[in-house]
Amino acid sequence: MRSIGEMARASGLGVSALRFYDRAGVLVPVRVDPVSGYRWYGREQLAEARVLARLRRAGMPLADIRLVLAAWSGADTGLVRTLLKAHLSRLEAGLSDARGEFSTLRALLDQRENHMPPLHTAPVHLSVPAPALAAALDSVRFAVGTDPELPVLGGILFDIDGDALHTVATDRYRMAVARAAVAGHGGPRVQAIVPTPLADAMRALLSGEEPVQLGLDGDRVTLEAGDRQVAGRQLDHEFPDYRRLVHLPTGRRALVDVPAFRKALETGPIHEQGDISVELSVLQVTDDGTVTVREDAEAGQDRIAVNREFLLQALAAAAHGHLVLESTSPTAPLAIRRSDDEHTFSLLMPVRLED
């Protein structure tokens, strides 16, 4: 027989996924230790587990997967073929519908772009304290996107409005926002997406305490720190309106001691969910303001599953001894805020726990 760990490695299904399919009656181990509860699988179940993994990657509903596995080892494979054909037909119909909707959306975008006046801005020159800009960059750098299909997210947004510079980064699964005070800008709101290499070069100049000079002129971004300068072109894209994404309703709040919480994450249980190939931590944020790292991956209104690596990176980027974690529901973003700075925070998209 195979242990649950051996079955996970051989089948491509995570340990927590195997536990879930056991509870759902889809792939039940041949033996469960009555004392430890440890699961053991028969040799013939490996083939079923691999079929299950393929069906889940194909997005087949759990009810249909149960029928496929029940009929898989039988002599009559007609039901299996019927279920596969039916699911493929649903996928093709859904793809056809999606193509139609996307075609309409592209037409609407063409109309919108044709009616939008070109954006022209006068050169902008402002002063910002080097430590403040360094902290703003450090707070958001971890969330910059790396997907080549989405170059608009491959940089840090500099959003200058009045006496404030907001730095923003997102890769769709997380978003980070920070703020630095600036001087010398009295014009309208200005935005520029600074590509990651240029942002990193800027950060390397910010070792002093004196103010540095930031300039935007056309598509060119310049940072001067004393007699040193770095410059480059901004990304020729329009960044998503992040302000629409950060106004979340108040939820359960927990003040955490960051070193202790980080240790609990690093030494605590790691979960997997279905076909998601990342390590998850399941948090329970209760009404009384406490947060715990759960041993199990059971769903619940006060529990939220997040990418463990992303959460650890967000804690490190905040660079603070105490942080506030806020969650409104298992499907809403987890907010990570500094208790002394409402303008610096990050949001992590959760992973839905299977019931």
Q: What angle do CA 202, 207, 210 make, to 5 degrees?
A: 95
Strand-pair category, 155-161 with 190-195: antiparallel
Whether residue 114 is predicted with pLDDT greater than 80 in this model: the reply is no
% pLDDT > 70, the chain: 95
Higher pLDDT, residue 129 or 272: 129
The better pLDDT of the pair 15, 214 is held by 214
- The more confident residue out of 74 and 127 is 127
188 and 129 belong to one structural domain = yes
Say yes or no: 205 and 312 in one domain.
Answer: no
Residue 346: the pLDDT is 94
In a shared domain, residues 207 and 263: no
Of all residues in the chain, what percent carry a pLDDT higher than 90?
Answer: 50
Residues 222 and 268 in one domain: no
Per-residue model confidence (pLDDT) at position 155 = 95
Give the domain extent around 264. 252-348
Domain end point (choices 85, 113, 141): 85
d(C-alpha 45, C-alpha 30), whole Å: 9
The last residue of one of the domains, among 85, 116, 137, is 85
Q: Which residues contact 244 (CB under 8 A, 6 or more apart)?
A: none
Q: Would the pLDDT of 215 be above 80?
A: yes
Query: Within this chain, do residues 240 and 275 fall inside the same structural domain, yes or no?
Result: no
How many domains are there within the chain?
Answer: 3
Co-location of 237 and 276 in the same domain = no
Closest by CA to 51, choosing from 38, 67, 39, 29, is: 67
92, part of any domain? no
Which of 47-56, 104-113, 271-280 has the highest mean predicted lDDT (pLDDT)?
47-56
In a domain, 63, yes or no: yes
Give the domain-ending residue among 54, 85, 116.
85
Considering the domain architecture, whether residues 331 and 257 belong to the same structural domain is answered as: yes
Full DSSP string of 205-228: HTTSSSEEEEEEETTEEEEEETTE
Is residue 266 in a domain?
yes
Q: Are residue 240 and residue 259 in the same domain, yes or no? A: no
Question: What is the rounded average pLDDT of the residues 308-329?
Answer: 91
Asked if pLDDT for residue 70 goes beyond 80, the answer is yes
Q: Are 236 and 129 found together in one domain? A: yes
Can you give the pLDDT at residue 275? 53
Query: Does residue 93 carry a pLDDT above 80?
Result: yes
Q: What is the mean pLDDT of residues 124-140?
A: 95
Whether 106 maps to a domain, the answer reads: no
Clarify whether residues 192 and 220 are in a common domain: yes
Task: Determine, yes or no, domain membership for 104.
Answer: no
In this model, does residue 296 exceed pLDDT 90?
no
Helix, strand, coil % in the chain, rounded to nearest 5 = 35, 30, 35
Higher pLDDT, 116 or 333: 333
Q: What is the pLDDT of residue 277?
A: 61
Residues 224 and 266 in one domain: no
Do 257 and 326 belong to one domain? yes
**pLDDT of res. 238:** 84
CATH code of the domain in which 20 resides: 1.10.1660.10
Instruction: Examine residue 173 and state whether it is found in any structural domain, yes or no.
Output: yes
Average pLDDT of span 212-230? 93
Q: Is the pTM of this model over 0.85?
A: no
Whether residue 128 is predicted with pLDDT greater than 90 in this model: the reply is yes
Phi (first) and psi of residue 137, to 5 degrees: -70, -45
Q: What is the pLDDT averaged over residues 230-243?
A: 90
Residue 173 near residue 150 (C-beta atoms within 8 A): no
Q: What is the CATH number of the domain that holds 224?
A: 3.10.150.10
103 within domain boundaries: no
Position 73 scores a pLDDT of 74
In-domain check, residue 7: yes
